């Protein structure tokens, strides 16, 4: 399964948000327990302070005074350990039960044992605790939102040269000589990236132009000697008496020359397609083009080709490539079809199907569109015809497929997305 890609800025923002939320959550928990600990310490400090005042008063023989439930003083027989706990006591002023923090101490004062109980209401402490935590969370969120939008704005400004240069790189074309309009940046890495992109694209364009020039030169230089050889052979045939064996040899040489010419032309076409040199786009009537090709083949006494046009097929394509596409498909069907057996071209509104009879399915259909591949070595072929068909279809994002059904080889092209 293909991994889903996300933008760099979105990813960094997502990480920032996730990290901030996690920190906010754990900070709120930590603040809650820390504040609770401080408040409980304050409450307990008040209790111990009150208990110390009561003990001091008893030592000075002052009158015993109790103020339930805040302070209670009792004489007891035996001393016990100090007890610090929470307790619930009815509050008549509020007419409800309230939570108190209670400290029970036992002291011997002036020869008598006392139980001193001091209490402090903790309800208000909890309310203060919640108020502190909530207010802190609100402040944190406001600060977080401010930092988020501030960070987002600054990051957009910081990364703008990178995104701009990335968009320019997407527009880069080898066939175009317009220079890339790249932005410089005060960030060292972005500035170095801009320099490297400029250097790389210039080098690629230079290599492309050299390769293009080399291909054109080779193609041109090959045509001249081939034409000269062809002319000399024609002179030999026309001006000299040759025997049958010599005639067969010369005819074989002529066929090889024609094959070389064809191979040179097809390699040139493939190279031009790879170099994106076919930029002319027209609405080509494929149905009419098929009829024209069939007429031409019938002039060569190939009359077993038929065209079924269910609806006119019009495609946006370079006219030259359209001609090559149809010619190669029909020529391939003729080449690999037994003589006099029917070859059918069926054109619909958005697809083309060419079928011809065959004795058996291909052994390696997955290699059919590879360059220089021939299923049958007995048939003279450059092995580039179907490779050019595939290259043209890939160039325009057409869907081309091969199948073998009912003793027929079937090539189908779907033009649906580009009509």
- Tell me the per-residue pLDDT of 377-396, one tens digit each, with 9 for 90 and over: 545 555 677 888 888 888 88
Distance CA 313, CA 18 (A): 54
pLDDT, position 228: 79
- Residue 419: pLDDT band by 50, 70, 90 thresholds? very low
Classify 55 as helix, strand or coil. helix
CB 413 within 8 A of CB 351: yes
Strands of the 96-109 sheet, one edge to the other: 71-75, 112-121, 96-109, 83-91
Classify 289 as helix, strand or coil. helix
CA nearest to 321, candidates 263, 278, 383, 277: 278
pLDDT, position 276: 67
Indicate the average pLDDT of the chain. 79
pLDDT over 70 (residue 52)? yes
Classify 399 as helix, strand or coil. strand
- Residue 2: pLDDT band by 50, 70, 90 thresholds? low
CB 406 within 8 A of CB 416: no
pLDDT over 70 (residue 372)? no
CA nearest to 109, candidates 162, 169, 67, 61: 61
CB 44 within 8 A of CB 103: yes
Q: Which two tokens stand for residue 315?
A: 């495609």
pLDDT, position 71: 84
Q: Which two tokens stand for residue 134?
A: 């909530």
Cα-Cα end-to-end distance for the chain: 31
Q: What is the mean pLDDT of residues 17-38?
A: 79
Distance CA 322, CA 130 (A): 77
pLDDT over 80 (residue 201)? yes
pLDDT, position 239: 72
Q: Which two tokens stand for residue 45?
A: 């400090």
Query: Domain segments of the chain: what residues?
Result: 8-145, 188-269, 282-418
Right CATH number for 282-418 from 3.30.565.10, 3.30.1490.20, 3.40.50.2300, 3.40.640.10? Answer: 3.30.565.10
Q: Which two tokens stand for residue 122?
A: 């903790």
pLDDT over 70 (residue 375)? no
Classify 93 as helix, strand or coil. coil
Q: What is the mean pLDDT of residues 18-22?
A: 79
Distance CA 169, CA 32 (A): 52
Sequence-distant (6+) residues with CB within 8 A of 214 are none
Longest dimension (CA), the chain: 156
CB 399 within 8 A of CB 352: no
Mean pLDDT is highest, among 31-40, 89-98, 191-200, for: 191-200
Residue bearing the bigger pLDDT, 337 or 62: 337
Return the sign of the alpha-carbon dihedral for residues 102, 106, 109, 113: positive
What does the DSSP 8-state code read for residue 67? Answer: B
Residue bearing the bigger pLDDT, 227 or 76: 76
CB 416 within 8 A of CB 351: yes
pLDDT, position 1: 53
pLDDT, position 184: 86
Distance CA 123, CA 137 (A): 21
pLDDT, position 418: 46
């Amino acid at each position: 399964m293909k991994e889903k890609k996300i933008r760099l800025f979105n990813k960094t923002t997502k990480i920032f948000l996730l990290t901030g939320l996690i920190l906010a959550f754990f900070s709120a928990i930590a603040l809650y327990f820390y504040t609770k600990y401080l408040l409980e310490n304050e409450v307990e400090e008040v209790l111990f302070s009150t208990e110390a005042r009561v003990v001091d008063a008893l030592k000075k023989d002052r009158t015993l005074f109790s103020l339930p439930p805040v302070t209670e003083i009792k004489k007891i027989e035996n001393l016990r350990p100090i007890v610090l706990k929470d307790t619930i006591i009815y509050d008549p002023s509020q007419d409800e039960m309230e939570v108190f923090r209670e400290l029970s101490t036992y002291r011997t004062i002036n020869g008598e044992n006392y139980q001193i109980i001091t209490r402090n209401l903790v309800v208000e402490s909890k309310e203060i605790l919640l108020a502190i935590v909530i207010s802190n969370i609100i402040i944190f969120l406001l600060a977080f939102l401010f930092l988020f939008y501030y960070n987002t704005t600054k990051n957009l400004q910081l990364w703008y040269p990178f995104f701009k240069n990335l968009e320019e790189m997407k527009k880069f074309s080898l066939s175009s000589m317009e220079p890339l309009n790249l932005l410089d940046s005060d960030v060292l890495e972005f500035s170095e990236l801009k320099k490297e992109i400029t250097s790389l694209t210039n080098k690629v364009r230079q290599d492309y132009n050299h390769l293009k020039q080399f291909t054109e030169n080779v193609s041109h230089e090959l045509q001249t000697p081939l034409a000269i050889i062809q002319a000399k052979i024609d002179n030999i045939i026309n001006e000299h008496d040759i025997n049958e064996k010599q005639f067969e040899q010369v005819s074989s040489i002529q066929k090889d020359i024609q094959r070389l010419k064809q191979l040179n032309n097809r390699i040139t076409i493939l190279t031009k397609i790879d170099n994106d040199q076919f930029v002319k786009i027209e609405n080509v009537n494929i149905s009419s083009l098929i009829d024209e090709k069939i007429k031409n083949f019938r002039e060569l006494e190939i009359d077993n080709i038929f065209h079924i046009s269910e609806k006119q097929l019009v495609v946006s394509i370079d006219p030259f490539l359209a001609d090559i596409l149809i010619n190669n498909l029909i020529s391939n069907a003729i080449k690999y079809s037994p003589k006099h057996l029917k070859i059918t071209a069926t054109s619909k509104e958005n697809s083309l199907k060419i079928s011809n009879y065959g004795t058996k399915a291909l052994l390696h259909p997955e290699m059919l569109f590879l360059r220089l591949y021939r299923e049958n070595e007995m048939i003279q072929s450059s092995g580039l015809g179907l490779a050019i068909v595939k290259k043209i279809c890939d160039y325009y994002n057409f869907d081309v497929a091969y199948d073998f059904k009912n003793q027929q080889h079937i090539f189908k092209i779907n033009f649906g997305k580009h009509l």
